[in-house]
Amino acid sequence: MKYKMLNLVVVTRTLGVLLLLYSIAIIPPLLISVGYQDGEWPYWLIIWMESVLLGWVMWWPLRRKALDLRRRDGFVIVTLFWFVLGLISAVPFLFMPQLDFSDAVFEAISAFTTTGATVIVGLDLLPPSILFWRQELQWLGGIGMIVTAVAILPTLGIGGMQLYQAEMPGPFKGEKLTPRIAQTARAFWIIYGGMTVVCALAYWLAGMSLFDAVAHSFSTVSTGGFSTHDDNFAYFNSPLIEFIACLFMLLGGMNFSVHYLAIYRGSFDQYWRNEEVRTFLIMVVILITITSTTLFFSTTYADPITALRYAAFQAISVVTNTGFGTATFANWALFLPLLLISFSFVGGCAGSTAGGIKVIRFLLLIKQARREIYRLVPPHIVRSLKFDRRVIPEEVTSAIWGFFSLYILLFVTLVLLLMANGLDQVTAFGAAATCLNNLGPGLGEVAASFTGVSDGTKWLLSFTMIVGRLEVFTAFVLLSRIFWRG
């Protein structure tokens, strides 16, 4: 362990600043607690003071050290960011009588990683400030992920995402790490915030209560998937609300750099011109077609319009790794449960709030595989690999193969570990997939909630959700000996 004191200083100070910023997030539930008189305000006050104090202690003494973040510290900070804030966010849930420590951590990490798998049954009866906190956490995690994915992971080179380094929106390109992260965060914060406001307004006009509208806008644009009702979106039973949800889930699942470009240049062409977004939309259409056709012909829904309605909502919910439900797809006919869970491995676009392997990596993986086939056939012409009309360097293709292989090997290991903990094969498969891909609903026993699983399983899955959020490789790098030796 030769990780230098110098770096520890930077890491501590950065986390201190993040903690101070985070403490601001506790003010809304505090105000809501007072406004709705749900009696939770003393807890919120304590938690707020604690995070301010802790953040201050970590930042103040070290504030004058003139040190810049380096690439290597990025791995440590980004990992601690998700672990530490995830754990701290569990504190409010600890005050709920029905949740023990493991439950509280699972719920908080599930929200913060925008997974949206819950251990709470009886959501409709919870204090409003707690409900609000669950939703707000997803929203914070969503913007955290966008900044991580657009500004940090490409710099670290995780899973071939150095590809995106060249594609950063104009003004940010090529700057040093700290100012770039700050600038990116500011620009995307505005897009993300604006999207949330529009989404909340739309929900409200479509008939949700103001509280529900805001709460669900948080979990829609962040592709989180939590609801304030046990019945999730089935509670509203409104095609209009479902349509709004679909639209904003899709927006949340797209690369925010593309949103930025579309706004910056004032042209919607950007979406279709971007090869990843285009593939993503085509994939969604194909999945909706297969799902609705199968639902109709397996007579799950009697008329084609209803089949299409449920299929479209669920397909978009799963592909963007949101996990909202108007139906329990785990109970659908034939291959549909597995098909939908499989598509959650693809997930949304890189640089979005979605989880999974990401569309761009899948697209490149398929192009790479096709190239390997061509290589075998005389006259053995090996064409260079292109994405968005740019040639992909060999380093990126290797990184993507490596990413995919590790992802699959980790997934299989997880399923085995979960079965060792006593889950059956279908449940273990669903739980591992839904947590690693930050989706939410699983299969079998965990189709609706994770209430029934053991404490050990909850901890393993909480860990999995963070590893998924860190795009797997970040975690592996930190676990490698060479990282600490260097």
> Residue 214 corresponds to which amino acid?
V
What character string, x for contact with a second copy (CB under 8 A) and - otherwise, covers 375-394? xxxxx--------------x
The region of 156-164, 270-278, 281-289, 316-324 touching K ion under the rule CB under 5 A is 316-324
**HSE-up (13 A, CA, CB side) for residue 354:** 34
Q: Does 98 bind a second copy (CB under 8 A)?
A: no
DSSP-assigned states of every residue in 173-226: TT--HHHHHHHHHHHHHHHHHHHHHHHHHHHHHTT--HHHHHHHHHHHHTT---
Residue 67 binds a second copy, judged by CB under 8 A: no
CA distance 361 to 381: 23
Q: Which is nearer to a second copy, 183 or 293 (CB)?
A: 293
Nearest residue (CB) to a second copy, 201 versus 477: 477
**Among the residue ranges 37-45, 220-228, 280-288, 405-413, the one whose residues contact a second copy (CB under 8 A):** 405-413
Q: Using the rule CB under 8 A, is 402 a contact of a second copy?
A: yes
Which residue, 225 or 430, has its beta carbon nearer to K ion? 225
The backbone torsions φ and ψ at residue 391, rounded to the nearest 5 degrees and listed phi first, read: -75, 135
Binds 404, which of K ion, a second copy, none (CB < 5 to 8 A, cut-off by type)?
Answer: a second copy
Q: Which is nearer to K ion, 116 or 128 (CB)?
A: 116
Identified binder of a second copy from the candidate list 31, 67, 96, 417, rule CB under 8 A: 417
Number of residues that bind K ion (CB under 5 A): 5
Cite the annotated binding site by residue number.
114-115, 224, 322, 438-439
192-to-30, 225, 303 alpha-carbon distances in Å: 23, 16, 37
The yes or no reply on residue 441 touching K ion (CB under 5 A) is no
Residues 6+ away with beta carbon under 8 Å from 426: 443, 444
Region for 122 from its dihedrals, namely left if φ exceeds 0, alpha if ψ lies in -120 to 50, beta otherwise? left
212-217's contacts with Cβ under 8 Å and 24+ in sequence apart are 214/135, 215/131, 215/132, 215/135, 216/135, 216/245, 217/248
Q: In the numeric block, which tokens belong to residue 456?
A: 């050990």
Query: Residue 357, CB half-sphere, CA atoms under 13 Å: how many?
Result: 27
**Is the Cβ of residue 63 or residue 383 nearer to a second copy in the bound state?**
383
Please give the annotated binding residues for K(+), written as ranges. 114-115, 224, 322, 438-439
Within 316-375, the residues that bind a second copy by CB under 8 A are: 334-335, 337-339, 342, 365, 368-375
Which of K ion, a second copy, none binds 84 (CB below 5-8 Å, type-dependent)? none
- Closest by Cα among 420, 398, 400 to 408: 400
Determine the interface stretch with K ion among 157-165, 310-318, 402-410, 436-444 (rule: CB under 5 A). 436-444
CA distances from 242 to 318, 325, 415 (A): 14, 10, 33
Choose from K ion, a second copy, none: what does 39 bind? Cβ within 5-8 Å by kind. none
440 binds, among a second copy, K ion, none (CB under 5 to 8 A by kind): K ion
Phi and psi torsions of 169, nearest 5°: -50, 140
Q: Specify the amino acid at residue 43.
A: Y
Closest to K ion by CB, 169 or 253: 253
Q: Cα–Cα distance between 116 and 357 in angstroms, integer?
A: 18
Q: How far is the CB of 28 from a second copy (least distance, A)?
A: 37
Alpha helices for 347-421 (secondary structure H): 359-376, 394-420
Which residue in 430, 440, 441, 468 binds K ion (CB under 5 A)?
A: 440
Q: Choose, by CB under 5 A, the member of 86, 144, 154, 323 that binds K ion.
A: 323
Residue window 107-126: x/- pattern of binding to K ion, with contact defined by CB under 5 A: ---------x----------
CB atoms within 10 A of CB 434: 32
Tokens of 420: 């060792």
Cα separation of 159 and 343, whole Å?
19
Q: Residue 323 binds which one of a second copy, K ion, none, with CB within 5 to 8 A depending on kind? A: K ion
Give the footprint of a second copy on this chain (CB under 8 A). 71-72, 156-158, 294, 334-335, 337-339, 342, 365, 368-379, 394-395, 397-399, 401-406, 408-409, 412, 415-420, 422, 425-426, 428-429, 443, 473, 476-477, 480, 482-483, 486
Give the footprint of K ion on this chain (CB under 5 A). 116, 225, 321, 323, 440
